[in-house]
Structure 1
Amino acid sequence: MAPEQWLDLSTGINPHGYPLPMPPADVWARLPEPDDGLEAAAARYYGCKGLLPLAGSQAAIQLLPQLRPAAARVGLLAPSYNEHARAWRMAGHRVEALPALGDAAPAAIEARLPQLDVLVLVNPNNPTGLRVTVETLLRWHRGLAARGGWLVVDEAFMDTSPRHSLLAADPGTDLGPGLLVLRSLGKFFGLAGARVGFLAAEPALRAALAERLGPWALSGPARWAATRALEDRAWQEQTRANLTAAGARLEELLRRYGIATEGGTALFRWGRRDDAVAVQDALARQAILVRRFDDPASLRFGLPGDEAQWHRLEQGLEAL
């Protein structure tokens, strides 16, 4: 079956991404320029002046483990975005799985902090939706930083609820030593193909990562596109409202057909199912693609993009 015939709900990307106009021709003809307004637009949007533009947050995910001495003890949520654990293991660090679901998860994570050199969290977590409060994160950061440790917080799904961001805790300032926050335009803005992200961190760490990235980490067209998306406050506010409503609709639809979701964000819903393999296969036979996790057995559903897709998902669920 051709790719365009599938209903792909396997990602957590906004199906109605930012409507970019055509870039002007000179953006393609010049090398990227650091004074083109991107950093200023990002500082206003995120409320943080210490930001390093990246070719997606994946660039930082891959390189940050190389800036720590080998064999660090690194705690990561499980299940979560797999690239974090892979990057830390490849750099020779010892990775420990931490709970990512339930009201008791933050207390269990905190109990492990004295044994960790680095704590890496996706907040809210993908796929479980676990959200750790700013107050708790700042307390954890103080404990880690006191002994030279890091708290790395990946806020890829934070744009629908920016008041919960660590960057909103003390707007307009640099982050303290040992506190690192990743942001991305891929999910909320629907611009995954542009490969634009940011690292907020202390100046010395940003400089060390920038040196490894080298010049022109972002293309000129990507910088141009990101600047316009970050500056469009009217679109952002309307999109937050639209996504919140769509997420609630998805949760209700899944519940109606026997899939009780336990977590998620405005962009996806997640729930455990002992028969997750069978459900995924049954939907795939109807050309509906959803994401399956094995430990625990569970499924993640992204948002349909229009009424025809909503109807198609409902028909698929009804046939289970």
Structure 2
Amino acid sequence: MTAHHAPAAPVFHGGRLDAARRLYPEAPQPWIDLSTGVNPHPYPLPPVAPEAWSRLPDDDAFAALCAAARRAYRAPAEAAIVAGAGAQAFIQMIPRVFPARRVAILGFTYAEHEACWAASGARVSTAATLDALGESNVAVIVNPNNPDGRVIEPREIAALAQHMTRRGGLVVVDESFMDFTPLHSVASLAATEGVIVLRSFGKAYGLAGLRLGFALCSPALAAPLRAALGPWAASGPALAIGARALADERWLPAAAVACATDAKRLDSLLERAGFGLVGGTSLFRLVRHDKAGDWFSRLCASGVLAREFPQRPEWLRFGLPGGESAWRRLATALEIG
């Protein structure tokens, strides 16, 4: 008899502008959505051939995208590259394809990992240190971490992966926010049995709606992942746009510099308003305030959506404003404009 597990409880996410509009119908328009860690200056969309929209994507299109991803992420030639509809697709799929009894997640972190493993029937624990992950069947590390930007050095993850692989375990490294800090990536380990590295396309390239992401892993792990995803796991336009963007060696470094500059500007603005910096990446900043809940409501009333955390009520996370008008709106909402 097949075991059936309860569906995952909904996870509280950013980007819920529809809910914010319903709760604050008098807020000024347009809303400034700072609740997600997505580059507000997206990669310029290239022309897409009409057949990318009208035909099912073929193997050559997947091959071209994966070749571009291999070069961009510096994955070994022996590693497999699996494309899917965002890193989230793999976060949900991996527990079903590789079921485990005991899963340890380096926390506090992105809640979908825990929700998806728990829904698969695993006993999930949150670990405060890397060493505490080693006795589980599966270890999950979000690196850089969401929401505080904590970074674990590649050599430390490599040591854990060696230990876990000897025990027949699995290490999942979610590098969704790694694009601007490639020196910290463990993509070089992607051919190792027992390691899966996840990459998100939409965050750094500012095209989250395209829904594109990758699993970098050994061919043995890639085969059941591909089978579970089924054919046409990414759309034709996503394949074409992703391949073009990932092959553009000039755009990403320039975007990294621009976002880092904006992140420093955001830090200054938030500190002037009385927030204490906790951490973050160059795509989002995490701050603390004793009255974070009040600030969240005040910002919403001004048409500015930040990211709150029910489990950490003293925290707010802010993405980058997308232009001078948005910066002015934020400054005004923070009462320092």
CA–CA separation in structure 2 for the residues paired with 1:113 and 1:241: 34
Q: Which residue number in structure 2 is paired with residue 105 of structure 1?
A: none
Distance 1:251 1:114, change over 3 A: same
- Pair 1:160-2:175 in alignment: no
CA–CA separation in structure 1 for the residues paired with 2:151 and 2:116: 23
Q: Which residue number in structure 1 is paired with residue 130 of structure 2?
A: 109
SS in 2 for 1:85: helix
Residue 247 of structure 1 aligns with an amino acid whose one-letter code is: A
Deviation at 1:319, TM superposition (A): 6.5
Distance 1:57 1:282, change over 3 A: same
SS in 2 for 1:233: coil
User: How many residues of Structure 1 are paired with residues of Structure 2 in the alignment?
Assistant: 306
Residue 79 of structure 1 aligns with an amino acid whose one-letter code is: F
SS in 2 for 1:5: coil
Contact 2:273 2:336 in 1 (8 A): no
Deviation at 1:79, TM superposition (A): 2.7
SS in 1 for 2:266: helix
- Pair 1:68-2:98 in alignment: yes
- Pair 1:243-2:264 in alignment: no
Q: Which residue number in structure 2 is paired with residue 28 of structure 1?
A: 53
Sequence identity, in percent?
43
Note the 1:285-304 alignment, pairs <5 A.
285-297=301-313, 298-304=315-321
Q: Which residue number in structure 1 is paired with residue 283 of structure 2?
A: 267
Q: Which residue number in structure 1 is paired with residue 8 of structure 2?
A: none
Residue 89 of structure 2 aligns with an amino acid whose one-letter code is: A
Could you tell me the TM-score, scaled by structure 2's length?
0.87
Q: Which residue number in structure 2 is paired with residue 53 of structure 1?
A: 83
SS in 1 for 2:171: strand
SS in 1 for 2:38: coil
Q: Which residue number in structure 1 is paired with residue 146 of structure 2?
A: 126
Contact 1:79 1:295 in 2 (8 A): no
Note the 1:128-143 alignment, pairs <5 A.
128-143=148-163
CA–CA separation in structure 1 for the residues paired with 2:257 and 2:134: 40
- Pair 1:43-2:70 in alignment: yes
Contact 2:87 2:198 in 1 (8 A): yes
Output one character per residue of 1:256-311: Cα deviation in whole Å (capped at 9) or x when no partner.
11111111000000023232211101111111110011333211000000011111
Deviation at 1:3, TM superposition (A): 9.2
CA–CA separation in structure 1 for the residues paired with 2:259 and 2:213: 21
Distance 1:3 1:188, change over 3 A: farther
Contact 1:43 1:51 in 2 (8 A): yes
Contact 1:113 1:144 in 2 (8 A): no
- Pair 1:316-2:333 in alignment: yes
CA–CA separation in structure 2 for the residues paired with 1:93 and 1:274: 35
CA–CA separation in structure 1 for the residues paired with 2:268 and 2:109: 24
Output one character per residue of 1:58-105: Cα deviation in whole Å (capped at 9) or x when no partner.
1111110112344x2111233321111110000000111123xxxxxx
